[in-house]
Amino acid sequence: MNSRLLVGHIALTLAALLASYASAQSPAPMGPTPPPLVQVEPLPHFQARFLQGDRELTRYHFDPVDRRSFLYPLTGPSGLSLTRMGHPRDPVGHSHHNSAWIAHHIVDGTNFWGDRGAKLGRVVTQMIEQIDDRDDGAWLTAVNHWIADDTKETLLVERRRMEVLPSSDGQFLTLIDLEFMTPKRAMTFEKTTFGLLAVRMRKSIGVHDGGGRILNSEGAVNEKGTDGTNGVFWKPAKWCDYSGPVTATASEGIAIFDHPKNHNFPTEYHVRDDGWMGTCLTHDGPLTLQPGEKLKLRYGLYVHGGVPDVSALDAQWETFAKLPVPETLEKPKPAKK
């Protein structure tokens, strides 16, 4: 073999040995990785939807032109939304009733609850900070600024983590974790029965409009109760549920869960037979947040089929109450090199 052929032979042999070594060190090629069963899908126009397979469970709307972000729809097992936008008989006066939303009537003199009047504020999403998809659930964290219209001052910085945990039967739990901070000076959530978490139910689920039913953890029924005096209105409870017909053959509903670690637990609930319910964070008095402090809150929205009784909803609340709560909602900082 001449020298040129010998060099070529050695080169080919060396290349073959290297290829064989690389093949031995690398795992065999795998098939495509299946997508997580539950996903958050970012969409145009400031939206992100939560999917279980190809089924949309809920969607987060955070367009800065709106006064506050909200979840719509909240899809029941029937495939229909169990919430609506606005009061069925007063859509203009109740334009702030945006399906499921977070707001508070007055924070340091600014109204973050209504859409019209003096001293209004706006809850503006600054960024979607984190997103995660898994087989058992998916979540996102949004950073929101509570901004006064007149002064443009950011009164509160809020991180909101929303995690959707579905089951195989079309029901699901949405965990809403909130973390409030004040950037410069003390801020007061003033005494009110409007805020913090509220839900406007589908028209047919309302007691007046569709023959629905309200039930709380103490067994009270409807706004004023069956005897006209002892209903759910402004009464403390671990949870409050609103259920009613959505089709000719199906009834479904949503329960709001209050967490044992929340301020003012068990919260009073502002609930009306006309189809809305909400938690009352400061029913008993104002709450002041100092610079450097964090106000942490957790709520749950349980979307379910049927018209469950107290024992069934108690069991779901117990499961909710035992779920781990994040120590912080802040995005982890990268490790120093």
CB count in 10 Å sphere of residue 327: 7
What average pLDDT score do residues 91-99 get?
88
Helix and strand totals (H; E) in the chain: 3, 21
Q: 57 and 176 in contact (C-beta within 8 Å)? A: no
Q: Using CA atoms, how far apart are residues 256 and 274, in angstroms rounded to an integer?
A: 17
What DSSP element (H or E) covers 39?
strand 38-43
Q: Is 10 helix (H, G, I), strand (E, B) or coil?
A: helix
Best CA proximity match to 40, nearest among 62, 12, 9, 8: 62
What average pLDDT score do residues 71-76 get?
98
CA neighbours within 13 Å on the CB side: how many for 212? 33
Q: Using CA atoms, how far apart are residues 242 and 276, in angstroms rounded to an integer?
A: 8
**Torsion angle, CA of 222/104/204/76, rounded to 10 degrees?**
-110
Say what the pTM is. 0.89
Domains and CATH numbers, the chain: 38-322 (2.70.98)
What average pLDDT score do residues 245-250 get?
96
pLDDT above 90: residue 21:
no
pLDDT above 60: residue 30:
yes
Taking all residues of the chain, what is their mean pLDDT, rounded to a whole number? 91
User: Amino acid identity of 162?
Assistant: M
Give me 260's structure tokens: 């044992």
Best CA proximity match to 179, nearest among 159, 195, 194: 159
Q: What is the pLDDT of residue 11?
A: 37
Strand partners, 287: 189
CB count in 10 Å sphere of residue 166: 22
Structure confidence by residue, pLDDT tens digits, 105-152:
999 999 999 999 999 999 999 999 999 999 999 999 999 999 999 999
19: DSSP letter: H
Q: Pick the range with the lowest mean pLDDT from 23-37, 41-55, 112-126.
A: 23-37
Q: 71 and 99 in contact (C-beta within 8 Å)? A: yes
Q: How far is CA 45 from CA 61, 65, 120, 145, 159, in A?
A: 8, 11, 24, 19, 21
Q: Pick the range with the lowest mean pLDDT from 26-40, 132-146, 312-326.
A: 26-40
